[in-house]
Chain A
Amino acid sequence: MQDKFFLKKRLNSILLFCFFLAITYGAIIITEYNVMDGFTSVPEAFRWGISNFYPTQSSLEKLPNIMEKLIETLLISIASATIAGIFALIFAIFGSNTTKINTFFATISRFIATLFRNIDVAVWSMILLFSFGQSALTGYFALFFVSFGFLTRAFIETIDEVSNNSVEALRATGASYSSIVIHSVIPSSAPQMLSWLLFMIETNIRSATLVGILTGTGIGFSFDLYYKSLDYNSASLVVVTIVIAILLLESLSNYIRRVIL
């Protein structure tokens, strides 16, 4: 009995492994991907990067220009995440099992959040490009929609996880709905929500680069422009500034998290 149990478990693992192996092999054959060439081209790519992709004296002159675009991108990322956070909080309160008013509104707000979350930021950019053209607004809304969908989902989980017990206690005292939300739900879940918001800002800055390439705004546009005009030195400078900005922001938000959690 016991022998069979472990044998069965091992057999399951082996089967699963073979299954994934078969899928990988099938995909290689269908796409005619040459594994050897794939690996040998990696050092080649590095060699090209080292010999071309580095900032030079002349590209540094473009730094003020790049910085201006970078700050614009940063501000758009922060603005879209924070405003989305406010809307997400409202939808999360209606959508959470702990604080929902009724199942109908809960389902609707969950559905809206799922819709916005599951459409990729690149797709949003392309759709919004038709309405707003090549402006910062397009990028802002694309980031806003995705942040809103994601944060609503994250906030719902936070509320359900953190405040279930104390909500029950306040309901038992006869407290009104608004009192319960303000005195129990918000204080219990605020730190974790803030942590999610910081995460969203970081994610937005990463996505902003891609959105910028698609919509022709911000730092992404600078990169695209230099890259396509074969000015690899300036393009590499853009990448370096983005990396530094993200690292700074990450350490800042880690510090904030340590303080509040």
Chain B
Amino acid sequence: MTMLLELHDVSKQYGNNTIALSDVNFSVREGEFVSVIGPSGAGKSTLLRCINRMIDASNGEIVFDGVNALGLKRKELRNLRTKIGIIFQHYNLVDRLSVIENILHGRLGYKSAITGALGIYSREEKEQALKLLNILGLEDQVYKRSDQLSGGQKQRVGIARALIQNPKMLLCDEPIASLDPNASKVIMDYLKDISKSMGITVLINLHQVDVALKYSDRIIGVSKGSVVYDGSPRHITKEEIHHIYGSEAGDLIMDLGEDTDYAG
């Protein structure tokens, strides 16, 4: 399989001495479901945002779909961003607009300045929005205002907004951190399902180690801005997880079965 995303020696420095990322290297195959785990402040969010250049990396090379993202001009950058959907912890919807309007925002990247500003959407785009709402079980919420939805529903609108971009990749930044266990499972199942059935690559930041182990094809462990683990969830050991979180054995809330195996 071909590589969709490759990071070579990516670093990010804030100011003179705050290092958020240092020499990060990894690549993601097309269709893969990859979880990034690590303690708060390890640089997981920065890592995700560097990929579509919401944050500019200080050094290194980020190749997405054969294009070096760091060298792009404004127009090309917009083009790159249409191919990458982001899902946020706090959903980041426009609360006062309806569900369907929020979803159609995902098409704005494809519009010229004028059609975008006027909000002119084609019939096909509207039909696709309705189709996605059906897939995500939101068919009764089409014209509701987004601030009347529950957290789980808001996150599904967020997913629909990302999917209507027809993205090659989804970046998810703690998508279930503000949700209860039920809604979390619904969201994770949708993400897994979408990844499988639509062949979309997913890179997801997670706080819940057990969730990451259960759903992912691969785990990337980040600590203090560096990748300290990169491998299958099946072979990860307790020691390696403790190494990622810099903790002593028994200090973490998690259940990793008897020994090393975790057959999700």
Contacts and interface: CB of A to CB of B under 8 A. Distances in A.
A55 interface: no
Interface in A21-70: none
Interface stretch (A106-114, A130-138, A170-178, A199-207): A170-178
B96 A191 contact: yes
Nearest to A178: B117
Given A183-B94, A188-B95, A191-B96, A172 B108 contact: no
Interface string B17-53: 0000000000000000000000000000000000010
B78 interface: yes
B109 A175 contact: yes
A176 B78 contact: yes
A179 B121 CA distance: 13
The size bracket of the interface on A is 20 to 34
A163 B106 CA distance: 17
Interface in B145-173: 158, 161, 165
Q: How large is the interface on B (under 10, 10 to 19, 20 to 34, 35 or more residues)?
A: 35 or more
A174 B81 contact: yes
Nearest to B77: A174
A98 interface: no
A120 interface: no
A176 to B, nearest CB: 5
B105 A188 contact: no
Contacts of A182: 117, 119
A176 B116 contact: yes
B202 interface: no
B128 to A, nearest CB: 15
Interface of A: 163, 165-166, 168-176, 178-180, 182-184, 187-188, 190-191
